[in-house]
Structure formats: C-alpha cells, structure tokens
Amino acid sequence: MFLLSHFSMPLTHKKKFIVIGLLLLIFNVSSFAHGVDSNTERFLTTTHGSAFMPFLYIGAKHMVTGYDHLLFLIGVIFFLFRGRDILIYVSLFTLGHSLTLLLGVFNHINMNVYLIDAVIAFSIVYKGFDNLGGVKRLLGTQPNTKIAVFFFGLFHGFGLATKLQDFSLPQENLITNMLAFNIGVEIGQCLALLFILTLLGFWRRYNSYYTFSTASNTLLMSGGFVLLAFQITGYITSV
C-alpha cells in the first residue's frame, strides 16, 4: 500500500525514508555476503522446532543483502512510473518466488545452487536487454512483461528454496519456519524497494535519468553478466 502512496508523499516523509534507506545501505554493506553466512548457517544447522522470528529475520536479511534479487527488481521497476504498475509487477514477482519457495521446500526440490543462481543472473541480463527494447527488436513483438516477471520470479523462488535446503532444516514446524522465512523475504523486499524507489524517485525528476537510461540498463546487463559468469565458474569448479 505504501508503494501506492509513495509518489504523493510529502517531502518530510521522504526524508524519513532516506534515513531508513541509508541505514539499510550500511547494513547491506557490512553484511556483504549473499546467501547464508556462517552465523546464520550455524543457526540453521543447530536449531530445532519452531523459530518464527529468527527465520523471519533470515528471510528479510537474505533479500536486503541479495544483490541478484535487487538488481532484477531495479530492472523491473526502471520504467514503471505509476504506483499501481509497480504494485502489480512486484506482486507478480512475489507470487512467483513464494510459490516455488514453498513448493520447493515442501517437495524437497533441490537444484544445483550455482545453476539456479545462473538463471537468476540471466534474468537480470534479460530485464536490462528488455528495458533497452532489445527483446522486442529480437522477436518482432514485445512478449508480455507481466508473464516474464512472474516466470523469472519462479526461478528466484527455487533459488531461495535451494539455499534454505542446503542445511538440514528441522522437519517439525517446517510450515511455520517456511512461512516465517517467506514473510521475511517479503518484508526485506519491501524495505529494499522503498530504498530503491526513493533514490530512483529523486533521479527521475531530472532529465539525466532518461538520457542515461540506456547506460543504466547497459550497466544492469553488465552486472547480470558478471553474476552469470561467477555462477557458471562456480558450477564448473565445483563438479
């Protein structure tokens, strides 16, 4: 809901969000590593039973520090200007990754973490290319961007599910813990989006946003390519 009201927000409220955003940035930089760090790993391997708040926190942290998910989201909202559109696209992404996160964990679908992360990295390249109008030029018509965002959301969810299952999750209270993790992911996503939207919102007031949009999406593709190469090398060296 706050996404809708974001654009009509008075400036004083925006200042508050900048402070939150900056705090998030610091948090983001200090925790640095994507995925699950050794502390979290230790918690996940030694905990048993229901642990709602810890799983909520891990989910939120995973999203806020997960640069691949964030880069994709930046790509998705780059040319979305209306709060309503942002809400629809983000909801589709959320629906997609929640579905596969829950299904993946319940059915013990465990994919190779490097390969699934490579697909996630590819989704960033795709979105950057799509924002440049490349997909439309390549195929002749613009594929439905809503379906695309949902489709890639499914892969992001498998990534989340695979990472959680790398640790022997306790089977008791699995549902509670999974839901807590999923809710945490959404909270983290909302916080990260607030930060991104605040920054983009400011930049959008200037013409440079539009003059540099090609460069921005080129850089987005670069980021995706780096992650893609990183994951593929990880896969090759791990086999």
Q: Nearest-CA neighbor of 69 among 27, 120, 22?
A: 120
Local structure of 189: helix, strand or coil: helix
Q: Does 217 bind other proteins (CB under 8 A)?
A: yes
CB nearer to other proteins: pick between 3 and 124 = 124
**Please, which residue, 172 or 175, has the CB nearer to other proteins?**
172
Q: How far is the CB of 134 from other proteins (least distance, A)?
A: 5
Query: Applying CB under 8 A, which part among 10-18, 97-105, 150-158, 223-231 lies near other proteins?
Result: 223-231
> Which residue lies nearer to other proteins by CB, 12 or 237?
237
Burial of residue 144 (number of CB atoms within 10 Å: 0-12, 13-18, 19+): exposed
Half-sphere exposure of 4 (CA within 13 A, CB side): 5
Chain residues 68-87 in contact with other proteins, contact rule CB under 8 A: 79
> Is residue 42 a contact point for other proteins (CB under 8 A)?
yes
Residue keyed to tokens 């809710």? 183
35 makes contact with other proteins (CB under 8 A):
no
For residue 22, give both structure tokens.
Answer: 């900056």
Instruction: Note whether 8 binds other proteins by CB under 8 A.
Output: no
Q: Rounded to the nearest whole angstrom, what is the least distance from the CB of residue 225 to other proteins in the complex?
A: 3
Interface segment toward other proteins; rule CB under 8 A; list 112-120, 156-164, 190-198, 222-230: 222-230
Q: How many CA atoms lie within 13 A of 35 on its CB side?
A: 15
Binding characters for other proteins, 47-66, by CB under 8 A (x = yes) = xxx-----------------
Q: Which residues, 6 or more positions from 160, have their beta carbon under 8 angstroms from its beta carbon?
A: 62, 97, 100, 101, 104, 181, 185
Query: 109 or 229, CB closer to other proteins?
Result: 229
> Which of 196, 174, 205 minimizes the C-alpha distance to 50?
174
Distance CA 130, CA 200 (A): 19
Judge contact between 196 and 73, C-beta under 8 A.
Answer: yes
- Residues numbered 103 to 132 that lie near other proteins (CB under 8 A) are 125, 128-129, 132
In the complex, which residues of this chain contact other proteins (CB under 8 A)?
Answer: 38-39, 42, 45-49, 79, 125, 128-129, 132-134, 137, 168, 170, 172, 207, 209-210, 213-214, 217-219, 221-226, 229-230, 233-234, 237
